Amino acid sequence: KAEGVRLLQLGELKEAARVFEYSVRVATDNLTRPARKEFNAPRSAVTTAALASTTEEAIAAIPSMSAAEKNELCASIRLASLLNMALCCMKLEDWHQSDVCTTAAIEDDPFCVKALFRRAKTRRMMRRPVEAMLDLRCASAVAPLETEVLQAIVETADEVAEVKETER
């Protein structure tokens, strides 16, 4: 995950997305059922052996943790990696993949304001303002004072009104 953040900061968005995808897969593989959820994004070829060993070693190097603690850590890594992968996809204007990532993140944590907000932004770019508004309302219910969410609700309301007007 840290390598992905570094690449993201350098603007290496495609490579960062691949690293985050790999991080999601490793974290998912290390989750125990029923907490484990499959990530169904298309597979990318990640050939960085050093990355593989580093990520797997990081998870394996926590033998003192209980299974529940390890599961919680893997779930946290998975969620953060999904959100970062979605951010990369948004910057690359890959709206479909961003939608896949944010939806997976919301399935993992339905109260994650960042996931709800990013999916709303993605869906607005996909010209799906009604669905975006649903996400924004959920985000607002969780974080009612979040100014970015409130501003997006105002902006999206205009888009929803336009959609309703064209449906008449």
Q: What is the pLDDT of residues 79-129, one digit of tens each?
A: 999 999 999 999 999 999 999 999 999 999 999 999 999 999 999 999 999
Residue 8 sits at the vertex; the CA angle it makes with 41 and 52, to the nearest 5 degrees, is 60
For residue 43, pLDDT over 50 is answered with no
Alpha helices per DSSP H over 64-146: 67-91, 95-108, 113-125, 129-142
Specify the pLDDT at position 52: 45
Q: Which two tokens stand for residue 5?
A: 């953040």
Query: How many whole angstroms separate alpha carbon 80 and alpha carbon 11?
Result: 18
Residue 48 banded pLDDT, cuts 50, 70, 90: very low
Distance of CA 158 to the CA centre of its chain: 26
User: Which tops the pLDDT comparison, 41 or 90?
Assistant: 90
Q: Is the pTM of this model over 0.85?
A: no
